[in-house]
Amino acid sequence: MVKKLKNISPMGEKEISSNLEINIDELDISDSIKIIHSEDIIKKVFLAPAGYPIKPFDVPNPIQVSVTDNNLFQAYATEQWLGLSVKINDYIFDQLIIPDFAFKIKKIIPKNKAHRIGAETKFILIQPPIRKPKFKHISFEDIIGNEQAISKAKIIVEYLKNPEIFGEWAPKNILFHGPPGTGKTLTAKAIASAAKCAFFAKKGTSLIGNHVGDGASKIHALYNEAKSHAPAIIFIDELDSIGLSRAFQNVRGDVIEVAASLLAELDGLETSEGVITIGATNTLQLLDSGLRSRFEEEIDFPIPTEKERFDMLELFSKKIPFEIDIDFKKISKNTEGWSGRALHEKLIKISVHKAIQQELKLITTDVLMEIINQSKSNDKEQKPPSNIFT
């Protein structure tokens, strides 16, 4: 029997040459040449996103992918993977939309014989359960002062718990401003803790990408993830790093891209989506006016008063692992201009370290006053000289 030689491929038969003929009766068929029977074709294959073999910088983990049109995904997957021989727990890689992104074979039907992807194989994408991002829960009892902020926070908590009572009057975008260490992040976490909702915290600088389009993608991905976890709070700290007024900078294109994408998201949020944006900045006066206008309320976080410093010192001292003999009134009077963070990190924490280092049994007022005086001395040394150009 004589027949023209043809090349068998997933795309069909191609005739190699009209002049080349072989005698099939004389052909020695080895074990490496196998006929694909219909029972070898997989009917259904279940895929789960597995990620990249090597995690690129600034890529979230895990990456969430979804299918919006099953028929379109079917055609897309068939074009790439037709003819592949696979088994459960194998990885197959995308080479088109997300190059080198892996999918893991979780299940194959039928299980025993089938091993090859055919034109009729149905692809089913399964997603691992989405987990809420973890954060340290904070109680409003841990916050001293900032009465305006706490009052607004309770409104936000009520909305996140019972959005139906607000309608079109729901809070959406709130701006916290004030010196560093005055409780902006702490208050945002307390809101999320009280509402028992998801909390997404980002620094403004982390939203700037390395390439064109990266920043916009990060913003849109952040809001899409928050919507998938709603009710949720998005907290963007150092907002001025992406929203600085153009009067104060030569604006970079990548920063403009991030700011424009953020404005689009702030404008586009629907009250029914259950997502609140809280921005925070230390320099309110430097923010772009267009960005500021998107926030319905600006809440000031001032430096604590003497009474508030007294209460903070009492609160922080409860966790000191040593005996204490401290005159909180004297300490609060001598720490004018100190933020809550400064009291915690630069005073109480340093006193604990000093007690460990010097093997003290007791932390006294004198120990804290020594730290305060040293800090004031350092501040004076760091001040730039005056009248240098006069």
User: Tokens at residue 117, please?
Assistant: 């992807």
Q: Which of 124, 121, 123, 122 is nearest to 38 (CA)?
A: 121
Cα 233 to Cα 156: distance, rounded to the nearest angstrom: 10
How far is residue 188 CA from its own chain's centroid? 15
Cα 109 to Cα 41: distance, rounded to the nearest angstrom: 9
Same domain (yes/no): 287, 167 = yes
Q: How many structural domains comprise the chain? A: 3
Cα 280 to Cα 266: distance, rounded to the nearest angstrom: 15
- Residue 324: CATH number of its domain: 1.10.8.60
Q: Are 236 and 204 in contact (CB under 8 A)?
A: yes
Q: Give a yes or no: residue 251 inside a domain.
A: yes
User: Tokens at residue 166, please?
Assistant: 């607000």
Same domain (yes/no): 293, 319 = no
- Residue 44: CATH number of its domain: 3.10.330.10
Same domain (yes/no): 81, 168 = no
Same domain (yes/no): 194, 77 = no
Q: Give a yes or no: residue 19 inside a domain.
A: no
Same domain (yes/no): 177, 202 = yes
Chain segment 307-346, per-residue pLDDT in tens: 999 999 999 999 999 999 999 999 999 999 999 999 999 9
User: Tokens at residue 163, please?
Assistant: 């959005």
Residue 319 DSSP class: T
Where do the DSSP E strands lie in 52-205? 91-94, 101-109, 122-125, 173-177, 198-203
Q: Give a yes or no: residue 23 inside a domain.
A: no
For the residues of 132-154, what is the DSSP string, one character each?
PPP-----GGG--S-HHHHHHHH
Angle between the 184-195 and 147-161 helix axes, to the nearest 10 degrees? 30
Q: Give a yes or no: residue 341 inside a domain.
A: yes
Same domain (yes/no): 172, 102 = no
Q: Give a yes or no: residue 22 inside a domain.
A: no
Q: Give a yes or no: residue 325 inside a domain.
A: yes
Burial classification of residue 282, based on how many CB atoms lie within 10 Å of its CB (0-12 exposed, 13-18 middle, 19 or more buried) = middle
Q: Give a yes or no: residue 34 inside a domain.
A: no
Burial per residue of 332-361, b for 16 or more beta-carbon CB atoms within 10 angstroms, e otherwise = bebbeebbbbbbbebbbebbbeebeeeeee
Same domain (yes/no): 174, 290 = yes
- 12 — pLDDT class (breaks 50, 70, 90): very low
Same domain (yes/no): 207, 290 = yes
Chain segment 34-73, per-residue pLDDT in tens: 445 666 889 999 999 988 888 765 555 556 677 878 899 9
| Residue pointed to by tokens 């586009």 | 268
Q: Give a yes or no: residue 317 inside a domain.
A: yes
Same domain (yes/no): 51, 159 = no
HSE of 222, CA atoms in CB hemisphere, 13 A: 28
User: Residue 362 pLDDT > 90, yes or no?
Assistant: yes
Which of 248, 265, 300 is where one domain is finished? 300
Same domain (yes/no): 356, 265 = no
Q: What are phi and psi of 6, to 5 degrees?
A: -130, 150
Same domain (yes/no): 263, 165 = yes
- 382 — pLDDT class (breaks 50, 70, 90): low
Same domain (yes/no): 287, 332 = no
Chain segment 253-275, per-residue pLDDT in tens: 557 778 888 998 988 766 557 89
Which of 273, 300, 327 is where one domain is finished? 300
- Residue 183: CATH number of its domain: 3.40.50.300
The proportion of the chain whose per-residue pLDDT surpasses 70, expressed as a percent, equals 78
Q: How high is the pLDDT of residue 98?
A: 85
Which of 283, 300, 317 is where one domain is finished? 300
Cα 177 to Cα 281: distance, rounded to the nearest angstrom: 5
Which residues form the domain of 59?
A: 39-125
Chain segment 177-207, per-residue pLDDT in tens: 999 999 999 999 999 999 999 999 999 988 8
What's the CA dihedral at 218, 219, 225, 226 to 10 degrees?
150
Residue 55 DSSP class: P
Q: Are 303 and 145 in contact (CB under 8 A)?
A: no
